[in-house]
Amino acid sequence: MRSVIDDRNSAARPSLALAMRSLLLADSIVLLRSRVSVVLSILLPIVVLVVTTFGKAQSRLGGSDLVIGLALILGLLTSCLLGYSLTLAHDREMGVLQRLRVTPAPTWMIMTSRLVVQVATNLIASAIVMIVGTILHGLSLNAGQYALILAIAVLGAAMFLAIGQALVGVVKSSTAINAIGRVLFVILLLLGLLGGSGILGDTMKTIGDWSPVGALMAFFSSVLSQATWSAQDGYSLLACLGYIVVFSFIGIRWFRWDAQ
Amino acid sequence: MREMNESVEPPVLEISDLRVAYGSRTVVDGLAFRVDRGEIFGLLGPNGAGKTTTLSALEGLVKPLSGRVVVNGVEVQRYPIEAKALLGVQLQSSSFQAELSIEQIVKLYAGLYGVRLSRAQIRESIRTLGLGEELGKRFKHLSGGQQQRLALFIATIHNPLLLLLDEPTAGLDPQSRRTLWKRIEKLRGDGSSIVLTTHSMEEAQAVCDRVAIIDHGKLLTLGTPAELINKHKDDPEVLAVAHGAVTLEDVFIGLTGDEIRD
C-alpha cells in the first residue's frame, strides 16, 4: 500500500480537502442510516400537514401559513435538537470523537462536516415539507418565496443546532441529553405556539414571540402570507441571530470531546 | 529482539519534564524519556499510574502543564496536525461510527491521513486482514480479535513513523495476542517505532526492547527487561515479593507495591 506521506522523515500535512471529503461522505452515510431521525424530521411535519387539512383544524391553528410554518419548525426541531445532539453525545460516549481527534484532521473540520451534512439534510427535508404543504393547503408561492423559506430554514437549523450544541456542551451523559432534549423540545414548542398565540396573557405572548420557535414562526408566517417586511420581522431576525451567537458560544466553550 | 546500538540518529520521540494534571490532581509528574528509531518501547505501570495520560499527551488529546513532546523534531503542542500525521494511534477502547461498514471506516480513515485508496485496494487490504467475509459488516458486529485487527490496521494505514498502542492485547485470547506480537514486530521491521502500554510482563519481555516502569506519574526505572532485572534483583522490596529467580514482574511489584489499584 502506498502512502501519500512518502517521506517518513518529513512532517507532511495531509490534504485537508481529502480529509474534508472523507468526513462529509462518512457523516452523510451516518445521517442517512439514522433512519429514525430522518424519517421523523420529514414524516412528523407531513402528518401535521395532512391532519390539518381536515375540518376546521387549519383555521383554528391560524391559517395555512402558520400550519406550514409549524410543520417546518417541527422538522427542524426534531432533527437538530433531538437527532444531532443525541448522535454527538453518543459518539462522544463511545469514543468515536476521540478516535477522530487523534487523526491529523483539525477539530473544527470534524465538527464542521457534521454541521454541514446536518444543515444540508434539513434543507432537503424543509423543501419536501414546503412542497407538500403548499400542495395540500393550496398555497401558490413564487420562486423568490421558496428561496426565502429555504433561507429561513437554514437560519432555523443553525439556531436549533446551536441549542443542541449547547446542550451537549453543558451535559455530559447521553441519557441525560436524551431526556433533557425531549423536555426542551416540548417547552420550546409550547412556548412558541401557546405563548405566541396570546391565550396565556400578554407577558407570555411577549416571551413566546421572542422565543426561538416564536421568532421563527413569525418569519415563516410573514413569507408564506406574502406580507411585506415589518419591524417584527427585524426583531425576529435579531432574536434568531442572538440565539445562534449565545448558544454557539456555550456549545463551543464548554464542549468536551471526551465524556469522562 | 532488535540489536540496540547507541543511537546517533535523532530520537523519534523525545519527552522532557512532562507534567499533566486533571484539576488539582497531578497525573504525570516530570516524566522524561526518548524512543529511538525502530525501537519497541513499553510503558508499564499499575492502574492509574499515568500511562494512558502520557499517551494522551503524545496524541495531543490533553494539554500538559509543562514539558515538551517532540515527534521526529516536530513539537506536538506547537504543530499538532503535523505531529499527528507522523503518529499511528490505537486507543484503549477504539470505537468507530456504528452506522459505517468496515469498508467505509477504512475509506474514512485513509482519507483523514491523506492516503488515497481505490475501492479495490481497500477490499484487498481488508482481505489480507482476514476480514474479507466481513466487508459489509459494522464494526460492532466483529469479534474482539477482529476489531483489534481492524483498529491496528487503521492505526497504521498511513505507514506512521511512531505507533502508539494503548493496551493493545487487553481482552485477547493467547492466539490473537501472539498474532498481534508478530504484527508489531513486522511493523518495526517496516520502519515504525512503537510505544505500547501493557499490564502483561510476559508481553513486555517478549516484545519490548526497553521498558519504563512508572507510578503516580513518575518514572521509577527504565532499561531493557534484562537490565531492569539485573539492576533491581537485590532490592529488598523486590526480593520480598520474588519466588525463586527474580522476574520482571517481581521488579514491577517490588517498585510499585502490591496493593490493588482501581
Chain B contacts in chain A segment 181-200 (CB below 8 A): none
CA-based nearest distance A107→chain B, Å? 10
Contact B97 A96 (CB under 8 A): yes
pLDDT value at position B31?
96
Is the pLDDT score of A34 beyond 60? yes
pLDDT value at position A202?
83
Chain A contacts in chain B segment 142-201 (CB below 8 A): 157-159, 161, 191
Is the pLDDT score of B103 beyond 80? yes
pLDDT band at A59; cut points 50, 70, 90: low
Rg (C-alpha) for chain B, rounded Å, is: 19
What number of other Cβ atoms are within 10 A of residue B234's Cβ?
Answer: 9
pLDDT value at position B134?
86
Q: Tell me the whole-structure pTM to 2 decimals.
A: 0.88
Q: Is A24 on the interface with B (CB under 8 A)?
A: no
**Do A32 and A38 meet the contact criterion of CB atoms below 8 Å apart?**
yes
Span A98-122, pLDDT tens digits: 999 999 999 999 999 999 999 999 9
pLDDT band at A62; cut points 50, 70, 90: low
Chain A contacts in chain B segment 49-88 (CB below 8 A): 59-61, 72-74, 79, 81-87
pLDDT band at A60; cut points 50, 70, 90: low
Torsion angle of C-alpha atoms B185, B186, B191, B195, degrees rounded to 10 = -40
Nine-digit cell at A9? 522523515
* β-pair type (B210-215, B40-44): parallel
A225: helix, coil or strand?
A: coil
CA-based nearest distance B17→chain A, Å? 22
What average pLDDT does range B65-93 have in this prediction? 93
If 0-12 CB within 10 Å is exposed, 13-18 middle and 19+ buried, where does residue B132 land?
A: exposed
As a whole number, the mean pLDDT across chain A is: 88
Q: What structural domains and CATH numbers belong to chain B? A: 13-96+160-223 (3.40.50.300)
Enumerate the residues of chain B whose CB falls inside 8 A of the CB of residue A103.
84, 109, 112-113
Nine-digit cell at B221? 526505572
Nearest chain B residue to A110, by CA: B112
pLDDT value at position A61?
64
C-alpha to C-alpha distance for A97 and B135, rounded to whole angstroms? 23
Q: Which residue has the cell 451537549?
A: A168
CA-based nearest distance A98→chain B, Å? 8
Is the pLDDT score of B8 beyond 70? no
Q: Is A178 on the interface with B (CB under 8 A)?
A: no
What average pLDDT does range B127-138 have in this prediction? 88
What average pLDDT does range B213-217 have in this prediction? 94
Q: Is A107 on the interface with B (CB under 8 A)?
A: no
pLDDT value at position A191?
87
**Do A41 and A164 meet the contact criterion of CB atoms below 8 Å apart?**
no
Q: Tell me the DSSP string of A7-19.
A: -TTS-----HHHH
CA-based nearest distance A27→chain B, Å? 9
Enumerate the residues of chain A whose CB falls inside 8 A of the CB of residue B89.
102
- Least confidently predicted of A54-63, A81-90, A91-100, A139-148: A54-63
pLDDT value at position A11?
53
Is the pLDDT score of B212 beyond 90? yes
Is the pLDDT score of B93 beyond 80? no
Question: Which residues make beta-bridge pairs with B163?
Answer: B88, B194
pLDDT band at B140; cut points 50, 70, 90: confident
As a whole number, the mean pLDDT across chain B is: 90
* Interface residue of B99, B152, B167 to substitute, partner A, most A CBs within 10 Å: B99
Domains of chain A, by residue range, sit at: 31-253
Q: Is A259 on the interface with B (CB under 8 A)?
A: no
pLDDT value at position A2?
35
Fill in the DSSP letter of residue B101: B
Is the pLDDT score of B223 beyond 90? yes
- Least confidently predicted of A72-81, A224-233, B38-47, B151-160: A224-233
Q: Is A100 on the interface with B (CB under 8 A)?
A: yes
C-alpha to C-alpha distance for B204 and B123, rounded to whole angstroms? 33
* Helix and strand numbers, DSSP H then E, in chain A: 13, 0
pLDDT band at A3; cut points 50, 70, 90: very low
pLDDT band at A6; cut points 50, 70, 90: very low
Which candidate from B82, B95, B113 shows the least CB-CB separation from A103?
B113
- Least confidently predicted of A93-107, B69-83, B93-107: B93-107
Contact A5 B85 (CB under 8 A): yes
pLDDT value at position A209?
86
What's chain B's length in residues?
262
C-alpha to C-alpha distance for B253 and B220, rounded to whole angstroms? 12
Contact B61 A15 (CB under 8 A): no
Contact A94 B115 (CB under 8 A): no
C-alpha to C-alpha distance for A50 and B189, rounded to whole angstroms? 66
pLDDT value at position A47?
92
Q: Is A180 on the interface with B (CB under 8 A)?
A: no
pLDDT value at position A54?
79
Span A184-237, pLDDT tens digits: 999 999 888 877 777 788 888 888 889 999 999 988 888 888 777 788 888 889
